[in-house]
Structure formats: structure tokens, C-alpha cells
Structure 1
Amino acid sequence: MSKSNMPRDVDSPSKQAKRTLLAPFWNRTENRLRALWRILGAFILVATGSQVLPSVLFSNSDLPPSLLGLTQNIFTVVTVLLVIVIWARYVDRRRLTEYGLHVGPEWVRDAGAGVVIAFVAWGLALAVHLTVGWTHISAVLSPGNAANALPFAVALIAFVAQFLLVGIWEELLFRGLVLKNAAEGFHTQWFSERGAVLAGLVASSLLFGVVHVDQATSLPALGFWVLMGLVLGSVYVITDSLAIPIGIHFATNLAFNNVYGLSNVRPETAEVAAALLRPEFTGPTRFVGVSGLVNVGVVVLIAVLSIGYVAVQYDSIRVRVSPVYTVYSRSHN
């Protein structure tokens, strides 16, 4: 019998039904879960490791605020990194470095640039408040007013370590894992490659804003964190690296809370955290609030400075994150 006349293998009705049922969840071409479930699964596990478990384990701790935050974040980052390492290998089916962690001299340089950009930009925010008369400095080298507050230098070191860990795991999750997977999921006949990356950027930024809803006093205020997510995600998209986003994220948290005291405008944080400068705000909330117009302008400035840096270092501004997934066939070693 010739090959052309040989009977073809035909799936049984039960196999066809199984494939139909699994189709919304399993991508046969890529041999892994579809993007939506990869994102949701990782996000649920990370949320459990970063929010639920620490709140249960450290709810009755009497550690000083700085050490409590550091302890919680060490636990969180170890848990989250463990989740993401396992998820990357067995579910997302890619190397951890493919999220943007190609750490080397250039990566460290870019991260340092992100730190400088954020510190300069948030310093300008405080300068604006002081110049206009919306705030004045009430204390310098303040350890905070907690009953068990640590000396300023020790507390500041603890906050540096804490916010570095936060910057690493949040960027690895929201930009590395969520944005990249969302872009791959959107890359269908309805989206071009650039369109898919843009859609992934918007989706990851909205999710970033949602998880910060507890810090927003209104729906417009929530837009501040969405905007910050868009800026961090845009830098990731044009570099395919987490270096600058991690640098900006780390330095923003540290500058905002412990260097320039810009978060002192919030009643729940006023006078609590150690701060190099502790301002007291008297200006209108729409300008001096955490999500006020001055801070929104600074986020835009961070975007401009970051894009300018990338243009100089990378010689061009273009989309470097690809939504195209290469079927995983490489060694795990």
C-alpha cells in the first residue's frame, strides 16, 4: 500500500472532547497554560506569600516598625522569588533571566541610573513644595515617634534593605511576569506584535494600580499608581530589562518615605517612619497629596528622564520586549 493510501490516525471522540474542554486553559502549540491562567495562578500565589502569610505570622510582633517591615519583606521576597522561580521553570516554561534579570555590569549601571533619576525627581517635588510655601521642614534625621523606634541610622539601613527587596519582587512580578505573559496572550490575529505589547503594558499597569487601592483616597487618586505602572512598564518595554524599573521603584519608595518625607502627608504614616527630612504639609491636598498634581508631574518627569537615558545608552527608542514565545525546548540546566 502506498503512503498516500495509508489510513490516518484519527482521534477518538473522547480525545476530541477532552481537547475541546482543555482548549480555554491549555495552549497545545506552546505546551503550557494559557496566558490568563499563568498570570492569575502566579498572582494568587504571590499575593498569598506577600500579603496573607506575613500578616498572619507577624500580626502580634512587637518589633520596631523598621525591623518589622524588613523582616516581613525578607520573608516576602524569599517566598515570592521561590514561587516565581518554580513558576518560571515548570509553568511559564522560561528561564528567570528572560524576565529581565540579565545581571551584569551594564545591568547594574542601568539600575543605578534609575536610582539617580528617582532621587533627583522626588527631590524636585520637595523643592517645589518648599518654594511655594506648602510645607516646612519640622525635623532632620528623625527616627520616628514609635515607642520602640531604632536610632535613625539603623532604621534607615533597615528601610533601604526593605525597599530594595520590594522593588525587586514587585518588578519581577508586574513587569517581568505579568507584562510579558499578557503581551504573549494578546498576540493573536487581533493584535500586532506592538499592539500586543501595548495591551500587556496597559493590563499590567491596571493590575499594579489595583493592588495599591488601599493607598488611594479616590478613583482619580488610583490613577497615580496606574500612571507609575505605565512609566515603569514603558521603561521595561523599551529595554527588555528590569534594571531601570527596579532602580526607580526602590529609590521612589525610599525617597518618598525616608529621605524627603513626602508620605508624611498621610495621617497613617506621619511621624512613624524614620526620615532624613520630615516636612509638615500645609498646602492644598490636590497639590501636596501623595497622588497630588506635583507628584503626578514628577512621575511624568521620571518618564522623560528615563526615556532620555535609554535613548543615549541604547542609541534608539524602540519596543524590545517581544510577544512571540519560542516553544520551550531548551535545557533546564
Structure 2
Amino acid sequence: MDILATLRRAAWHGGEARVRAPLRLGVGTLLLFAVAVAVVLVLGASGLVAPAGGGLALTGVVSLLATVGGLALAARFVDRRRWTDYGLRIDRAWWVDFGFGLALGAGLQTGIFLVGWGAGWYVPTGTFVSEGSFVAGFAVVLFLFLSVGIYEELISRGWLLTNVAEGLRFAGDRTAVVVATVASSAVFGVLHATNPGATALSTAIIGLAGVFLALGYVLTGELAIPIGVHVTWNLVQGGVYGFGVSGLGVPATVVETRVTGPELVTGGSFGPEAGLLGLAGILVGSAATAWWVRYRTGAVRVHPSITEPDLLPGGEE
């Protein structure tokens, strides 16, 4: 009986009436995978797309629907929280921060392009280049990166970072958030390690990009800034300046750019995220995020919602 009681306490948080963080993460991962499979099968059965195909647009649809569906189930039945508690308590302030994020992501990539162009490392070779219709191709790129910005932030920051931080509260809030930020960012980097042309350096820099994106979340308790930055960082990187986006190409770009500079600096075909220019952009973006939060709120500190769950009725309030 003592063994059973010990196992139950290890798996179940009685005060919160929910399973503990490791199990929440495990079950949530299974839900995300199951919903993704279901979405692909439904789309395939509908005749809209073949289950094994569909290109960039299908990738965006499946990933976004799977994330929203899977996390909606996880929120209600596993995490016992409201869907909006994943950083989507949308109000006027949320949209203001989102606008800042959009501007920051676009500005950072523009800065990277201008520095590289001025140094002769980037050479523009054409404009409004696409594999077919530019308008249709750019629409696909826009939809894809809007989807990516939402679902990757929901998973990596809204769900993963939050659950890890909550599970480590016994170590103190600051330690919990630091460890959760590092852990979720490491996962973020590793998930990009199999992209075409990925290297140890690109994986490390993308991991640091995860810390940059997490900063906007842990300081505000909302995903407005990270989603905004993520969307335009990718969109402007690939759809405007023609860089590789974590090793992936896009079907349409406003400016076609040939990369001629040293790969260590430019990132080569993988994109700026594999080079020192991308690293510089991440550092500047992190400083700009901290400045913005201080400007908006008067302080730079961890938002309490990251470690203090607002659970649905039935557990500890």
C-alpha cells in the first residue's frame, strides 16, 4: 500500500487535481501526434489532398490544426487550464505587443540583409521571383509562416516552457523559469537539427533563437511578441530577401539573393540562422524585447502566470 501511495503521489498532484508535469508533457505529446494523424486522414478522405502529399500549404494546415486541436484537448483534460492560458489572453495590449513583434522580426531581417549587402556578402540577382504566379506563391509563403509562427510558439513556449516551469516550482520561480527556458529552447534547436544543411552551429544558434523568443513570453505572460517576431523573421527572411529559412527554400520571394560571403558569417544556404549575422540579430532582438517590455510595463521581470497556474475549478485555486 505504501508503494502504491508513493507512486500515486509521484504521478498525481492532489492539490491541483491533475497529473504532474512529466506525465502532462507525455500525454500532451501523444495528443498532438494523434490529432495530427487524424487531421491528415480526414483531409485525405475528403479528397482535398492525398495523405502523403500536399506541399507547403498542407504542411501549414496540418500542423496548425493538429496543434490547436491537440492543445485544446491537453488544456481541458490534462493541464486543467483554459486554452487562453497558453499565452493567448487576447486584448488591446496583446495586439500592441503583437505589432511590436511583427515590426521587430521584419526589422532584424532587414538589418541582416543590409549589413550583408553592404559588405558584399549578399548579391541581389532579381526581383519578384517565383516558380509560377508570384501572387499565388507569396500567398502560400505568407500562410505557411503565419501558421508556423503560431503553432511553434504555442508548442515550444505556451505549452512546453509553461509545463516545465510549473513542474520545477519547488526550486524557486526564477530557477524554474531559467531551466524551462533553456530546456524548451534546446528542444526547439534540436527539432531543426534534421533540416537540410543543418550543422552543430545552426542548431546552437536556433536554440539561442528559442531563448530570444521565450524572453517575450516569460516577461509578459503572453505569446504576442514571440508569435509576431517568429512570423516576420521567417517571412521576411525567405519571402522578401530570398534567404534559406532554416535550410528550406520558398516558392516566391520579392528579392532573389545570392550568398557569396563566408558561411560562418552568412549561414550559407541554410540561412542567417546558421551564421554570425543571425546570432547578432538574435542578440539585438533580445535587447529590443527587454527594452520594449520595460517601456510598456516599467519593469523587466518574470510574469507570475508562467509559474502560477490559473486552473479550472476543482483543484487548488
- TM alignment of 1:82-121, pairs within 5 A: 82-121=69-108
- Aligned amino acid, residue 91 of structure 1: V
Q: Secondary structure at the match of 1:279?
A: strand
Q: Distance in 1 between the 2:106 and 2:217 partners?
A: 19
Normalised by the size of structure 2, how large is the TM-score?
0.87
Which residue of the other structure, out of 260, 272, 288, is the alignment partner of 1:305? 288
- The alignment partner of 1:296 has SS state of helix
Alpha-carbon offset, residue 51 of structure 1? 8.5
Gaps of 5+ in 1: 1-12
Q: What is the CA–CA distance in structure 2 between the aligned matches of 1:263 and 1:236, rounded to whole Å?
A: 26
Q: Is the 8 A contact 1:30 1:328 kept in 2?
A: no
2:28/2:78 contact within 8 Å kept:
no
Q: Partner of 1:199 in structure 2?
A: 179
Please give the residue correspondences for 1:128-277 in structure 2 after superposition, counting only pairs within 5 Å. Answer: 128-144=115-131, 149=132, 151-188=133-170, 191-215=171-195, 217-263=198-244, 266=247, 269=249, 273-277=251-255
Partner of 2:47: none
Letter in 2 for 1:40: G
Query: Alpha carbons of 1:115 and 1:34: their partners in 2 closer, same or farther (altered >3 Å)?
Result: same
Counterpart Cα distance in 2 of 1:300 and 1:44: 34
Taking structure 1 as the reference length, the TM-score comes to 0.83
Give SS of 1:214's match. coil
How far did residue 250 of structure 1 move? Answer: 0.8
Per-residue deviation, 1:26: 2.0
RMSD over aligned CA atoms reads 2.4
Q: Is the partner of 2:81 in helix, strand or coil?
A: coil
Give, in whole Å, the separation in 2 of the partners of 1:20 and 1:183: 23
Runs of 4+ in 1 over 6 A off after TM superposition: none
Q: Which residue of 1 aligns with 2:6?
A: 20
Corresponding residue number in structure 1 for 2:259? 281
For residues 101-149 of structure 1, the C-alpha deviation after alignment (integer angstroms, 9 at most, x for no partner) is 01122211211110101101100101111111112111100113xxxx3
1:319 is aligned to 302
Name the counterpart of 1:8. none
Select between 69-78 and 274-283 the one with higher mean Cα deviation. Answer: 69-78
* 1:73 corresponding residue in structure 2: 60
Q: Report if the CA contact (8 A) 1:129-1:135 is conserved.
A: yes
What is the alpha-carbon distance in structure 2 between the residues aligned to residue 322 and residue 161 of structure 1?
29
Q: Deviations over 1:17-43 (max 9, x none)?
A: 432233332222322111012123223
| Further displaced range: 220-229 or 241-250 | 220-229
Q: For residues 44 and 211 of structure 1, do their structure 2 counterparts lie closer, same or farther at Cα, with a shift above 3 Å needed? A: farther
Aligned residues: 302
Shift of 1:45: 3.3
SS in 2 for 1:295: helix
Q: In structure 2, do the counterparts of structure 1 residues 199 and 165 end up closer, same or farther at CA, with 3 Å as the change threshold? A: same
